[in-house]
């Protein structure tokens, strides 16, 4: 198995490191446009192998996509990170151009690869990659839900003083302030979280989750990287090992939840063929309203991308 990670910055390097450490692939190729950057990161990860004890070879290249040929899975993290005061949507123009260019190279050398998008704004960059690749929606999708549920579960574990391992959760919608955490589908060791926390506490955790990326930007001056990188690696693992894991993933909805043609987070089964199935939950009226708000927000940014593309045509 061969996995390529495009972008050797904090998120991409973390993803490559987790893939190597967990021996998820035989070879991990790290690509970047900055001379020597990917090579250095890959060499550093490889030199850690004798210490931690893993066999995965990590290779870095500067802009040479021929070295990525015949990859089984490609993770795209390229693009500008968020800065203080910058929304995800501010990134659209520059990052759309980057994702389009990268996707063209990926498809040229690895036409059968499954593509995972991590670049922000996530939902719309997934749209861009899907348009550029011409692949089925089951082969091009975005990483957001795993990261968002991880934040949600981490905050719940703190509030309950329990292990995060015992918390299962799902959320939907766009990646950002309009995401839709679903406390009704959240359990702690099989116990509904609504039986363990009062509504006020739960609402505060849901709000913190929705603003989780912004909180980190304020603290560090840039986006997160450990959790996003590990989340992308977990998706790769589910595909490479055909685990058929149930994860929330950004996908083009085609009638599910009454939504058509918009890229939103929804629970899916993830396996060797990419998205094996989209799971349709029975949402209540409040949850449907929140999802509709999120749909409207993502559709606005998709429309903005379409207008930019037409202007540049």
Annotated ligand binding at 57? The verdict is no
- Report the candidate in 114, 175, 98 with the shortest Cα–Cα distance to residue 143: 175
Annotated ligand binding at 12? The verdict is yes
Annotated ligand binding at 82? The verdict is yes
Annotated ligand binding at 118? The verdict is yes
Annotated ligand binding at 161? The verdict is no
DSSP type of residue 173: B
Annotated ligand binding at 303? The verdict is no
- As a 3-state breakdown, the chain gives helix, strand, coil percent values, each rounded to 5, of 50, 20, 30
Bridge partners, 253 (sequence order): 262
Q: Give every CB contact of residue 135 below 8 A, 6+ residues apart in sequence.
A: 107, 115
Annotated ligand binding at 26? The verdict is no
Annotated ligand binding at 150? The verdict is no
267: tokens are: 């629970």
Contact (CB, 8 A) for 125 and 96:
yes
List the catalytic residue out of 41, 130, 175, 297: 175
Annotated ligand binding at 40? The verdict is no
Annotated ligand binding at 244? The verdict is no
CA distances (Å), 22 to each of 15, 16, 233, 236, in order?
11, 10, 9, 11
Distance of CA 233 to the CA centre of its chain: 9
96: tokens are: 């759309």
Annotated ligand binding at 67? The verdict is no
Distance of CA 234 to the CA centre of its chain: 10
Annotated ligand binding at 255? The verdict is no
* Cα–Cα dist 102/77, whole Å: 10
Is 130 annotated in the active site?
A: no
Annotated ligand binding at 123? The verdict is no
Strand order in the sheet with 57-62: 57-62, 27-32, 2-6, 73-76, 114-117, 140-142, 245-254, 260-271, 274-278
Active site residues: 175
Residues placed in the known binding site: 7-12, 32, 82, 88, 95, 118-120, 151
Residues placed in the known binding site for NAD(+): 7-12, 32, 95, 118-120
Residues placed in the known binding site for substrate: 82, 88, 120, 151
């Amino acid at each position: 198995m061969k996995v390529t990670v495009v972008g050797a910055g904090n998120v991409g390097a973390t993803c490559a490191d987790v893939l190597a450490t967990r021996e998820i692939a035989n070879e991990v190729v790290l690509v970047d446009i900055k001379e020597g950057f990917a090579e250095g990161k890959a060499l550093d990860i490889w030199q850690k192998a004798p210490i931690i004890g893993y066999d995965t070879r990590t290779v870095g290249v500067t802009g040479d996509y021929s070295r990525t040929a015949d990859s089984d899975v490609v993770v795209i993290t390229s693009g500008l990170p968020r800065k203080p005061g910058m929304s995800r949507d501010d990134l659209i123009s520059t990052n759309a151009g980057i994702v389009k260019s990268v996707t063209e190279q990926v498809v040229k050398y690895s036409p059968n690869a499954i593509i995972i998008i991590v670049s922000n704004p996530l939902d719309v960059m997934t749209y861009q990659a899907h348009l550029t690749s011409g692949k089925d929606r089951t082969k091009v999708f975005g990483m957001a839900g795993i990261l968002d549920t991880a934040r949600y579960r981490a905050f719940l574990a703190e509030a309950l003083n329990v292990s995060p391992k015992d918390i299962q959760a799902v959320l939907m919608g766009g990646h950002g302030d309009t995401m839709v955490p679903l406390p009704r589908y959240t359990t702690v060791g099989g116990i509904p979280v609504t039986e363990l926390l009062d509504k006020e506490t739960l609402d505060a955790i849901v709000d913190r989750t929705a603003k989780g990326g912004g909180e980190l930007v304020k603290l560090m001056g840039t986006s997160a990287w450990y959790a996003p990188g590990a989340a992308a690696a977990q998706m790769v693992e589910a595909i490479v090992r055909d685990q058929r894991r149930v994860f929330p993933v950004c996908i083009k909805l085609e009638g599910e939840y009454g939504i058509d043609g918009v890229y939103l987070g929804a629970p899916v089964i993830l396996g060797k063929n990419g998205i094996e199935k989209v799971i349709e939950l029975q949402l209540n009226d409040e949850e449907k309203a929140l999802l509709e708000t999120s749909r409207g927000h993502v559709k606005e940014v998709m429309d903005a991308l379409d207008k930019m593309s037409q202007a540049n045509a």
